Amino acid sequence: MRDPHPFLRPLAAGAVSTALLAGAALGSAHVAHAAPPPSAPAAVSASSGVRFVDIPGDGGTVLKANVVTPEGARPGARHPVVVLPTSWAVPQIEYLAQAKKLADTGYVVVSYNSRGFWQSGGEIEVGGPEDIADASRVIDWTLENTPSDPDKVGMAGVSYGAGISLLAAGHDKRIKAVAALSGWSDLVGSIYSGRTQHVQAAALLGGAGELTGRPSAELRQVLKDFLGSNLDQEDEMVAWGAKRSPVTYLDRINAHGTAVFLANAWGDTIFPPNGYAAFYEKLKGPKRLEFRPGDHATAEVTGLLGLPNDTWSHTRRWFDHHLKGERNGIDQEQPVQLRSRSTDGYEGYPDWKSVGAARRTMELADTHTVRANVDSGANGGTVLLSNALDQFLKLPPTASIPLLPRRYAAVWQSPRAERPQRVRGTAKLHTTVTGTKESGTLVAYLYDVGPLGLGKLVSSAPYTFHGKTPGEPFAVDLELFSTAYDVPAGHRLALVVDTVDPLYVEHNPTGAQLTFSSPRTDPSYVSIPLREQ
């Protein structure tokens, strides 16, 4: 089916790209100025143990890299090694602060610019076979050219580096431990959840790739089809994404017995946390899962600057235990560690299914009909910005629930709660939808509503349908993005559903309407996960 608004899509995507990429370009320029020029000497400082080198990747493609070795490392010594692929669009100096901390405690650390970016050769393949092979070639080079122990190899990275690390663990059994920070397990489920294109996320990644690297022809075509809503290519796009998803190689990771540490932010607008939670539950080897407030990679950024950072300190503890054999207690802690968006401190759980084990059902009894194509004012914010504000200033996206136009938004509210409600985990919406067109998009939002009617966003998620018979009702089951949020006593919960959100491509033809009902034989509800009091 063609895009219902073909002439608006390029304009909208261009506007989003311009706004977002201006910030990305400034950030990249700020980091890039410190990178060594191509003519820089190989040895920067004898005392620092840092070298800038060229490593031959898959097919001989040159990968620009730096090597940090323990000070005073002697020939013939064998140190555990950590390989760090760079994040999307970030130069090879990204991890120097953390590499130095690791080297100071006895690790050989090799960080390399992922192929297609900056001065590395090749084209951007988005975790394709070439990227996976590159990781193995870097390990080969490291074992041949540094005082490293072939039985103590780890990989780690942020974002793109996290995804490549997990993918490599599914193909190279030499990798004994992984720390995947703000990465993905299911690429399709991340930027195409609910069968809905996450337009701001995809536009940001595509634009940043053009600014700092060389996207492959295949990537450019996939992005064109994806952002252009070319459903004729949907199966091919899904297959392309599955090939680049660590979950596809889960059985291999389990067979290798890799120790996997996963960390992400609740508000990650590029790789939402649900995928990591599902992936974690299926891992069979040593594993740990951590979720914190923030957006994509914002939980790790202070550590990249060399400042104290829980994510990175836990990463080092993970490697100390699984590569160096230290008895530091990380294996004795509850393996699922969460921080609420509302309070400080960690909560430990034995597994993901224990998070939000108590559930409250909020009935959605009334029937509501909304007109499509208009943003009601309820939305998930702006990629990278809104959830960073929530992380640092406790300012999530807000909406005045009483003022939301009921022509464009369906609203249900709970009674005021007598005591605080600690939302933990994944809220689930079940409802019945009747559309006037065969395609459509809806976006569900869960709000914490205070006494004056101001709603603070707790969670949200999009849902798109195609090929439905107009006028014929159908059931919708939608998982909202997982979160941890404390609703104060005296507040209400509100579920809001509308049809437009700037974060997503919407597929509502002009003039479409959606009706949400609650048949007696199949009542509508939202199931809210709560931590037991």
Render pLDDT for 73-118 as a digit per residue (tens, 0 to 9): 877 789 999 999 999 999 989 999 999 999 999 999 999 999 999 9
Rounded to a whole number of angstroms, the CA Rg of the chain reads: 24
Task: Please give the chain's pLDDT, 533 residues, in tens.
Answer: 334 333 333 333 333 333 333 333 323 333 333 333 333 333 333 334 789 999 999 999 999 999 999 988 877 789 999 999 999 999 989 999 999 999 999 999 999 999 999 999 999 999 999 999 999 999 999 999 999 999 999 999 999 999 999 999 999 999 999 999 999 999 999 999 999 999 999 999 999 999 999 999 999 999 999 999 999 999 999 999 999 999 999 999 999 999 999 999 999 999 999 999 999 999 999 999 999 999 999 999 999 999 999 999 999 999 999 999 999 999 999 999 999 999 989 999 999 999 999 999 999 999 999 999 999 999 999 998 999 999 999 999 999 999 999 999 999 999 999 999 999 999 999 999 999 999 999 999 999 999 999 999 999 999 999 999 999 999 999 999 999 999 999 999 999 999 999 999 999 999 999 999 999 999 999 999 999 76
The pLDDT value given to residue 12: 36
Nearest CA to 492 out of 441, 432, 449 is that of: 449
Which residue blocks in 228-339 are alpha helix, DSSP H?
A: 234-243, 250-256, 274-282, 301-304, 310-322
Q: What angle do CA 78, 84, 90 make, to 5 degrees?
A: 150
Q: Which of 261, 271, 250 is nearest to 202 (CA)?
A: 271
- The structure tokens listed for 50 are 């840092």
- Could you tell me the pTM of the whole model? 0.90
CB-based burial, 428-464: b 16+ in 10 Å, e otherwise: bbbbbbbbbbbbbbbbbbbbbbbeebebbbbbbbbbb
Supply the angle between the helices 217-227 and 234-243 in degrees, to the nearest 10. Answer: 130
* Predicted pLDDT at 533: 66
